[in-house]
Structure 1
């Protein structure tokens, strides 16, 4: 969801950076990139390690208020998401969201952005024991769609999500957003494309040859 369908990674990192500056924490801009694709618990743990528990919680509370306003306004779509969803729906291909976001916020973000109705299932970190890179949320999505994991394609922007998809026995295609894959990520051997439009063209070609 975040960084793949919604341009929310920029929104949340901007909110974190603004909150940190407001509270007098001098953190480098690239510090926030390590949060991309992680769940709330991982994000908090890294901030606690850096700032201490009280300061981390104060920063997250302030950042959360800034982000709530962005969510209510409707976070912009990533380029190509609506044409892709329309194409998938037109061919009767089941679709699920598998996100590290907590369920209430995930549903709100999708609804405010006008994307919720495109999906047959929404699976969140609230619904599983372990967040990405564990495979739990993807395996849950497959169960709810009634599809064998081996027959599932995963579109992901982050390395964390790619690792979760691979652990679930699925086929990931990465569409990087803020984090470009390094040599270690590329060594995972999955397909990497530049855009959702390119991902759609791959699917079109695959179905045409089936």
Structure 2
């Protein structure tokens, strides 16, 4: 695609859209960050934004299992369940700008959408109601469907196989370095970073072809 691909060059040849959920389709990072803050506070463990960023875009139990921290020696899955128990009920996610319309217009144009998320199925189904429901997605891959979470490409490879579309004709949209690396390793023809959670430079360094502030720039091919 060249060293500096344009957005149109990436989107025009996309036969399928593979989309992350948190931070890409829905602005739910404030909800998840607050869950972790409350969890760490309840445990009496020091935490800051740098530490919390390690959990963004990844399965929490994977981070607990592989990253040094005050949780060493504890059951990663039990810790993840604790975090979920601290999920605030007074903070609600909202769709990222352009997300709902992108899914709608892509479907109308015969371009299937797949969800590939590190979230569990319950949260995924709840969040997708903001976008018109899970039925708008041809494939839904959650944390429960893979042995390894992002940055492993397993989830994206599973979605690509289920769609039956060549990997190099798929466009991945991701808001985290782990997600960008997963899409790139899965062989996606285009990986677009969404800078809702991390700055542009971090996503480019992870392997994104280019970075957009939200999903509105991806609407153009479907509004012609």
Within the alignment, does 1:50 sit opposite 2:70 as a pair?
A: yes
C-alpha displacement at 1:74, in angstroms? 5.7
Within the alignment, does 1:143 sit opposite 2:165 as a pair?
A: no
For 1:121 and 1:17, locate their aligned partners in 2 and report how far apart those are by CA, in whole Å: 32
Runs of at least 5 residues in structure 2 that lack an aligned partner in the other structure: 1-20
The partner residue of 2:213 within 190, 194, 199 is 194
Question: Residues 23 and 115 (structure 1 numbering): CA distance in 2 closer, same or farther, change over 3 Å?
Answer: same
* Greater relative CO, 1 or 2 (CA 8 Å, sep 6+): 2
Identify, as 1 or 2, the structure richer in helix.
1
TM-score, normalised relative to structure 2? 0.77
| Contact in 2 for aligned 1:40/1:101 (Cα 8 Å) | no
- Deviations along 1:44-66, one digit per CA (max 9) or x if unpaired, are 22676333344977764443123
For 1:3 and 1:200, locate their aligned partners in 2 and report how far apart those are by CA, in whole Å: 18
| Contact in 1 for aligned 2:175/2:196 (Cα 8 Å) | yes
C-alpha displacement at 1:192, in angstroms? 1.2
Identify, as 1 or 2, the structure richer in strand.
2
1:66 paired residue number: 86
Question: Residues 123 and 62 (structure 1 numbering): CA distance in 2 closer, same or farther, change over 3 Å?
Answer: closer
**Greater mean deviation of Cα atoms: 13-22 or 179-188:** 179-188
**Greater mean deviation of Cα atoms: 169-178 or 101-110:** 101-110
For 1:112 and 1:54, locate their aligned partners in 2 and report how far apart those are by CA, in whole Å: 35
2:178 paired residue number: 160
The partner residue of 2:136 within 118, 121, 124 is 118
The partner residue of 1:41 within 46, 61, 65 is 61
Question: Residues 113 and 18 (structure 1 numbering): CA distance in 2 closer, same or farther, change over 3 Å?
Answer: farther
**Over aligned residue pairs, what C-alpha RMSD do you find?**
2.9
